[in-house]
Chains A and B, each alone.
Chain A
Amino acid sequence: MATLIALETARFGVPQWLWTIGFIIVKIAVVLAGVMLHVAYATYFERKVIGRMQNRLGPMIVGPYGLLQPIADGIKSFFKEDIIPTNADKPIFFMAPVLGLMAALSSLAVVPFFNGFVIANINIGLLFLFAMSSLAVYGVILGGWSSNSKFSFLGSLRASAQVISYEVPLGLSLVGVMMMAGSLNITEIVNAQSRYPGGMYIIAQWLGFFVFVVSAIAETNRSPFDLPEAEQELIAGFFTEYSGMRFALFFMAEYTGMIIMSSIAVLCFLGGWTIPPFVLKLLPFLGVVPGIVWFIMKLYVCIFFYYWIRSTLPRYRYDQLMAIGWKVLIPLSLANIVITAVLKILLHHAGTP
């Protein structure tokens, strides 16, 4: 900061550091607007996909093909009455949805959408993402606790146990990627993938990718691991007592969480905004397509996968959920770490990196 102020050179009478700050704020606004739009249309996409899979049309009334449905939903929830339970712990009740959405949105700060476009290019990007994804559970826990209702309470108890259990394999599954890239900086990881002959770490890290996908679904409380909000048992789980805009905040936090998890998958396993070098050699005209297009295409493949799983698999039982997390995923991810480390040392000694 001190050096920034010392370097100030006036441009249009505005000092340089003000330009820097202004540029960052514009970047944040662009990212937030873009992601919120994608969140809105992810809900539309979900209803369409699940509708088609169940032989229905999905939303069709509002706008052509129901395209304005997410906007109508947003306006509706904004103007709905905000109901607060009598015995709720009010400050925490107000804070919980905001906390959840805040944790989800602040993860966006370190996600590079295409080459060079990232709000904060920090060296510990991946760790920052873990930290923020582990904070997202606070919104759920506090929301359920402060509602003073048994359904909410049970939902948040389930959520906390689930998220603690699945955070461990989530972190461990990415250790293999960190070892292969030799860095925690996400831009570095993507660049290392484009140097790697396969072009995507999913080829070498398929075991890690499997563990990551399962624990990412559990971490974002999506079906088949949506125990915290199991409709048939708990009405709506932790947000039973929420209505109107506060409910919409929880909803947005969930979908932002899905987008974050999908973008981690894209960046760490699917090559981010790059395409594998052998594909580029085969079809050189693909090089003119901008990176953001590849990124968004891969992102939507991952999000489609979420919906596909949701409409295909029934919900797991609670003890099955815990057994999968602790007895299957953690040993698998530990095995993946050991295999990756041994292979890296062997290949390093053989001469090829």
Chain B
Amino acid sequence: MINQIFFFYFSAVIVAMSVMAITRRQVLHGVLYMLLMFFHIAGLYLFLNAEFISAVQIIVYAGAIMVLFLFVIMLLNLREDIRKKQFIAVWPMGLLVSSGILMVVLMSMLTVRTGTKGVWGIAQIERVTETVAVGTVLYMQYLFPFEVASLVLLVAIIGAIVLAKRKVK
């Protein structure tokens, strides 16, 4: 009972905050609603016994990425968005595509099947703590994909530096 109340609260707030974030005319207010949404996502993770992921969610998204968003907004000195009648000319097409995606999501939700249970059940996680579990799985079982992902990020960093350095020459 109490679980359902918590879950309903978190998911309702996440949906409400996402809607608020994209409808605000003041860009900074939108960013703040997004920040609240990230907090509720972190709460949802905590609710799933994933304490490590929830802390990382706050550190990375709320602490770093949203601060960068704020930084960009402040550097560009965006105050209020211009009110325009129609932003995109082909909105019926967009409506069609998005309702199609919604249909796909609904259909997949109706036919969802839970996967088979692995080694890492709740009892096991509570025994070794979630941080240890994530570390063990990430560095033992999925070491190669992890390294590939970090290589991809390195390429992105080098690309950013190359783009930024071109002007200096």
Contact = CB atoms under 8 A, between A and B. Distances in A.
Is chain B found bound to chain A in the same assembly? yes
Interface of A: 1-2, 89, 92, 122-124, 127-128, 130-131, 134-135, 137-138, 141-142, 145, 153, 156-157, 160-161, 163-164, 167, 171, 184
B58 A141 contact: no
Nearest to B52: A124
B98 interface: no
Residue among B55, B56, B58, B70 with the most chain A CB within 10 A? B55
B28 A92 contact: yes
B74 A163 contact: no
Interface stretch (B60-68, B84-92, B113-121): B60-68
B52 A127 contact: yes
A145 B74 contact: yes
B107 interface: no
Contacts of A160: 67, 70-71, 74
Contacts of A171: 59
A89 B28 CA distance: 10
Contacts of A138: 35, 67
Nearest to B62: A135
B67 A1 contact: no
Main SS at interface, chain A: helix
B105 interface: no
B81 to A, nearest CB: 15
Contact of B51 (A1, A124, A134, A142): A124
Residue among B26, B29, B64, B70 with the most chain A CB within 10 A? B70
B131 A167 contact: no
Contacts of A137: 63, 67
B64 A127 contact: no
B-side interface size class? 20 to 34
Contacts of A122: 51
B129 interface: yes
Interface in B33-51: 35, 51
A195 to B, nearest CB: 19
A141 B52 contact: no
Given A89-B28, A130-B59, 11 more contacts: A92-B32, A123-B129, A127-B55, A131-B58, A131-B63, A135-B62, A138-B35, A141-B74, A142-B32, A156-B74, A157-B71
Given A92-B28, A184-B131, A131 B55 contact: yes
Contacts, number: 69
A131 B62 contact: yes
Given A124-B51, A160-B67, A2 B129 contact: no
A238 to B, nearest CB: 12
28 contacts: A2-B2, A123-B51, A123-B131, A124-B51, A124-B52, A124-B131, A127-B52, A127-B55, A127-B56, A130-B63, A131-B55, A131-B63, A134-B67, A135-B58, A135-B62, A137-B63, A137-B67, A141-B67, A145-B74, A153-B74, A157-B74, A160-B70, A160-B74, A161-B71, A164-B68, A164-B71, A171-B59, A184-B131
B75 interface: yes
A1 B56 CA distance: 25
A296 B28 CA distance: 41
Contacts of B64: 134, 164, 167
Contacts of A2: 2
Given A1-B2, A131-B62, A157 B75 contact: yes
Contacts of B131: 123-124, 184
Contacts of A124: 51-52, 55, 131
A314 B66 CA distance: 32
B63 A135 contact: yes
